[in-house]
Amino acid sequence: MKDFSNLISAIEITNKTNAKIEALVHYFKTAPDKDKLWLIALFTGKRPSRPVKSNLMKMWCMEITKLPEWLFLESYSTVGDLGETLALLLPNPANEIEKPLHIWIEELINLKQKTDDEKKTYVLKAWNGLNAQERLIFNKLIGGSFRIGVSKKTLVNALAKLSGIDANQLMHSIIGNWTPDSITFDALLNGEHINYDNSKPYPFCLAYTLEKELQDLGDANDWQVEYKWDGIRGQIIKRKEEVFIWSRGEELVTQQFPEIVSAISEFEGDFVIDGEILAIKDSTVLLFNDLQKRLNRKNVTKKLLQEVPVGLYIYDILELNNQDLRAQSMCERRQKLGVLFQKNTSDILKLSEVINFKNWNELDALRNEARSFNSEGLMLKKKSSIYHVGRKKGDWWKWKVDPLTIDAVMIYAQKGSGRRSSKYTDYTFAVQDDDKLVTVAKAYSGLTDKEITEISKWVNQNAIEKFGPVRTVKPELVFEIAFERIAYSKRHKSGVALRFPRMKRWRKDKTAKDIDTIERVKALIEMNK
């Protein structure tokens, strides 16, 4: 556990991807093969089921610390993570237990069949033999949740650096059907359980945010304009009767969208298409909040399929019957895409609508109307453009609707990581709810370094409470918070969820008396339906 704990510490103290990759490579070079396999399993969602109920762990911690329940819950509410709360509250260990990661996990798997008394004995013994960081990891393992700041892409890049194997092949391999008990580490890296040739994707073509006047783009007739959607960008591959779905983050997400796989399977021939996976119900595009319910699930239930049906809006075609089309013009590719879809009878697969317009002046009104049907704005694509790798200025532009804004007061501050580890950079904001404040957003972007330094000094002078890295502060600093959209949410205490919140500006001209109310915030939902 010590080596694994050191790895997690190295990952958590930096926000630099290369540093995380180096830490992972070092671990893969030194750890036992079974530990390596379990690390990959944990980081890709192949976690063992929860062997102990959270409520029991909470109760045992309160027995040890003699804390009243209200104080425990307040601590939990501030920290935001049960495993971390337990690790912070428990006293220092009296012993030292050293076992490799795979042994701990095997013991936790076997623990599921034990009685509550047996579980308690095991957990308390573990807590008393692990340091704070090791205990945090143990709590995350036993809680059935293991969210660490490492994406599948970062993990894959580390494995690629270690082995020299193609990153996309490794992604397919680690996402594939395997368990730590069914394969060796070398066999996993070499993809002995998969057929990579059929699933190999292409790099995505990406757009820049529009930074010109429309008139500076030239003749409007040279451009194809579509609506921009807020879903999951996907590359759908059909080769040799197999279907694969890759996200823009280079993750294989095929199993999460069985209805799209089924619909694509009905097409004749082989192809690779680019599109947007959206939650769509009764021909209406839903919010990203709805789509989120379908993401990162190993099993999609019938109930979830009914509650959150999905569809695919298709933008482009990259390959047709083994012919790479990316060097052809946007106009040529669109024609081939149209021919492919002439025989499509599925109601969940749609060609992205091409907007008819006569001149640039018509587009601004169309962009402003986009939010009313849950579009993010417009995409402008030069008809002569090839499907290039990554971003290239001048060919594809995204032109989003203007953000929504509210005024909110800061109530919590937390230090950042890396070069910002000495500054308070992550903030929690609240609005007025009758005679109290209610949290509506967390944000960490939008301010200058000078402003962050000034706020950090203020936090040090005005902190009310301290919970680990979090500081409760006097509700005095007001900020204008910008976000893309807003929706009702049962998961948030305020009843609302903001999409991509960030700080637009520090409102030094306002006091806490001037912040928005929760009623006004909720009114934005109704105004933008």
Cα–Cα distance for residue pair 277/7, rounded to 1 Å:
35
CB within 8 A of 183, min separation 6: which ones?
Answer: 37, 192, 193
CB 217 within 8 A of CB 262: no
DSSP 149-199: S--HHHHHHHHHHHH---HHHHHHHHHSS--TTT--HHHHHTTTTS-HHHH
CB 90 within 8 A of CB 136: no
φ, ψ dihedrals at 341, nearest 5°: -95, 0
Q: 28 pLDDT exceeds 70?
A: yes
* pLDDT tens track for 503-525: 999 999 899 999 999 998 888 88
- In this prediction, residue 419 has a pLDDT band, given cuts at 50, 70 and 90, of low
Q: 418 pLDDT exceeds 60?
A: no
Reply yes or no on domain 404-527 having CATH 3.30.300.180.
no
* pLDDT mean over 199-206: 87
φ, ψ dihedrals at 42, nearest 5°: -65, -40
Beta strand pairing status for 310-320 and 349-351? parallel
Cα–Cα distance for residue pair 287/483, rounded to 1 Å:
14
- Domain 2-142 top-level CATH class: mainly alpha
Q: 499 pLDDT exceeds 90?
A: no
**Whose CA is closest to 329, among 382, 369, 368?**
382
Q: 298 pLDDT exceeds 80?
A: no
Cα–Cα distance for residue pair 26/142, rounded to 1 Å:
26
pTM: 0.63
Kindly state the tokens that stand for 78: 């501030």
Which amino acid is it at 280? I
Cα–Cα distance for residue pair 125/222, rounded to 1 Å:
70
The mean pLDDT value of the chain amounts to 88
Q: 202 pLDDT exceeds 80?
A: yes
Q: Which one from 34, 140, 152, 228 is the annotated catalytic residue? A: 228
Q: Is the dihedral of CA 28, 34, 39, 44 positive or negative?
A: positive
* pLDDT mean over 280-293: 87
C-beta atoms surrounding 140 within 10 Å:
21
Q: In angstroms, how far is CA 316 from the centroid of its own chain?
A: 24
Orientation angle between helical segments 82-89 and 69-79, nearest 10 degrees: 120
Element (H, E) at 225: strand 223-229
Orientation angle between helical segments 2-12 and 132-142, nearest 10 degrees: 100
* pLDDT tens track for 41-87: 888 877 788 898 989 999 999 999 999 888 888 887 667 678 888 98
pLDDT score recorded for residue 105: 92
pLDDT score recorded for residue 529: 60
Q: 467 pLDDT exceeds 80?
A: no
Same fold for the pair 205-400 and 404-527: no
Q: 528 pLDDT exceeds 70?
A: no
pLDDT score recorded for residue 468: 66
More confident residue, 438 or 273: 273
Beta strand pairing status for 396-400 and 208-209? parallel
* pLDDT tens track for 102-149: 999 999 999 989 999 999 999 999 999 998 889 988 988 887 666 677
- Domain 205-400 top-level CATH class: alpha beta
Could you tell me what percent of the chain has a pLDDT over 90?
50
Cα–Cα distance for residue pair 126/98, rounded to 1 Å:
10
Cα dihedral 217/223/229/234 (nearest 10): -110
Element (H, E) at 372: none
Which amino acid is it at 420? R
* pLDDT tens track for 313-353: 999 999 999 999 999 999 999 999 999 988 788 889 999 99
Kindly state the tokens that stand for 33: 């093969």
Longest distance between any two alpha carbons in the chain, whole Å: 77
* pLDDT mean over 489-514: 86
pLDDT score recorded for residue 526: 74
29 is catalytic: no
* pLDDT tens track for 156-198: 999 999 999 988 788 878 877 788 988 999 999 988 877 667 8
pLDDT score recorded for residue 417: 62
Kindly state the tokens that stand for 434: 């009758």
pLDDT score recorded for residue 319: 96
Domain boundaries, the chain: 2-142, 205-400, 404-527
Cα–Cα distance for residue pair 356/367, rounded to 1 Å:
13
Q: 486 pLDDT exceeds 60?
A: yes
Q: 264 pLDDT exceeds 80?
A: yes
CB within 8 A of 287, min separation 6: which ones?
Answer: 230, 279, 374, 485, 487, 499
